[in-house]
């Protein structure tokens, strides 16, 4: 679903430069890299790195509200759906990182779960060499 997708940039319109190819690259615990209480999900957008930061409190809130956990695979899907949404809404292409709120994570999670149920299951993440 959101590990490798194309999206149209709102501001450039329907032309060659408006088609953005987004590919998931990695999930990295931000505590080690930027001393932040978050999981950073990296995507390449037409070859340029873009990071989506999901706050760790979202994992706590998800466990509290449903008793279920957010897996690495699900976190990548949540971040990918959020990335697609912000691009369609007219994101700032000069930024390299976007930080989601707990509420945004849970909203995107709910939407991803609904889409995954309709598709039959979450797709597996690619193994990168």
pLDDT value of position 125: 66
pLDDT at 121: 74
Q: 8 has which bridge partners?
A: 19
Residue 5's Cα: distance from chain center in Å? 11
Distance separating alpha carbons of residues 4 and 88, to the nearest angstrom: 16
- What is the arithmetic mean of pLDDT over 54-58? 96
Q: Work out the average pLDDT over 9-29.
A: 80
Q: What's the pTM? A: 0.88
Residue 126: both structure tokens together:
């690619």
């Amino acid at each position: 679903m959101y590990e490798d997708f194309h999206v149209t940039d709102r501001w450039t319109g329907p032309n060659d430069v408006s088609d953005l190819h987004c590919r998931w690259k990695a999930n990295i615990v931000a505590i080690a890299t930027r001393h932040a209480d978050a999981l950073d999900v990296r995507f390449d957008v037409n070859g340029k790195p873009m990071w989506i930061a999901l706050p760790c409190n979202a994992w706590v809130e998800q466990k509290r509200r449903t008793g279920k956990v957010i897996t690495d695979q699900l976190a990548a899907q949540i971040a990918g759906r959020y990335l697609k949404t912000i691009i369609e809404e007219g994101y700032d292409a000069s930024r390299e990182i976007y930080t989601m709120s707990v509420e945004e994570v849970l909203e995107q999670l709910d939407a991803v779960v609904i889409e995954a149920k309709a598709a039959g299951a979450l797709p597996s993440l690619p193994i990168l060499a």
